[in-house]
Amino acid sequence: MTRKSIMLREIIKRIWCYFWGQIFVLCYYKKKYLTGEWFRGKYGCFLAPGWKWVYHDGWDRLLKGSNPGVPWPVGRNVKVIGWENIEFCPEDLRNFQGLGVYYQAMDSHITIGRGTWIAAGVGIIASNHDVTDPELRKAGKSVYIGEKCWIGMNAVILPGVTLGAHTTVGAGAVVTKSFPEGNCVIAGNPAKIIRYINEKNNV
């Protein structure tokens, strides 16, 4: 298959996604979440990559009932609970398209700052089970993640945690307490600061 035919095939696929996307928008989504960079294509909005997210998520909702009620497209391997309590910038919609990411905001808020990146397998949890009786739940505590943070693969952020801007969370870290000062790298279980970041020199 030539490069030109591959490009033509991709263009046709994106136009198809855009067409179905318009139908799914009427059924499932709020337009304010579909206005970011992922919906501004180089050759017109109908070629924008975000419509592939809408297309695939729309069919998953129609056929499988996945992520009901969430007013933005969610990847098939992402779980969102309590979408009403989640705040993020539409430009960062990519954070809901990853692999195995879990957002749980049942009775408290999750706020994700602009420009933050969230890797595969991350869990962000605003409420938890009671250790004395798993049938019960503890009261929720809001999670706040500042701007331009990087949450590494398989990290877990627990209820009540605040991360300041420019915080990097190492892969597999379990964040049990807040690091509001930001500009740092945290890692481990429980997570602790392993170094600070100098914004000018990035060290």
Domain ranges of the chain: 1-76, 78-203
Catalytic site residue from 56, 109, 129, 166: 129
Which residues touch 174 (CB under 8 Å, ≥6 apart)?
A: 155, 156, 158, 188, 189, 190, 191
* Structure confidence by residue, pLDDT tens digits, 39-71: 886 665 777 888 889 999 999 998 999 899 999
Task: Name the one residue in this structure whose structure tokens are 């490009």.
Answer: 7
β-strand partners of 151: 118, 169
Report residue 10's pLDDT band, with 50, 70 and 90 as the boundaries: confident
d(CA 98, CA 122): 9
Reported pTM: 0.87
Q: What is the pLDDT of residue 117?
A: 98
Q: Of 12-16, 73-77, 105-109, 146-150, where does the model show the most confidence?
A: 146-150
Q: Considering the chain, what percentage of its residues have pLDDT values greater than 70? A: 95
78-203 is classed in which CATH architecture? Answer: 3 Solenoid (2.160)
d(CA 118, CA 182): 16
Check if 166 is active-site. no
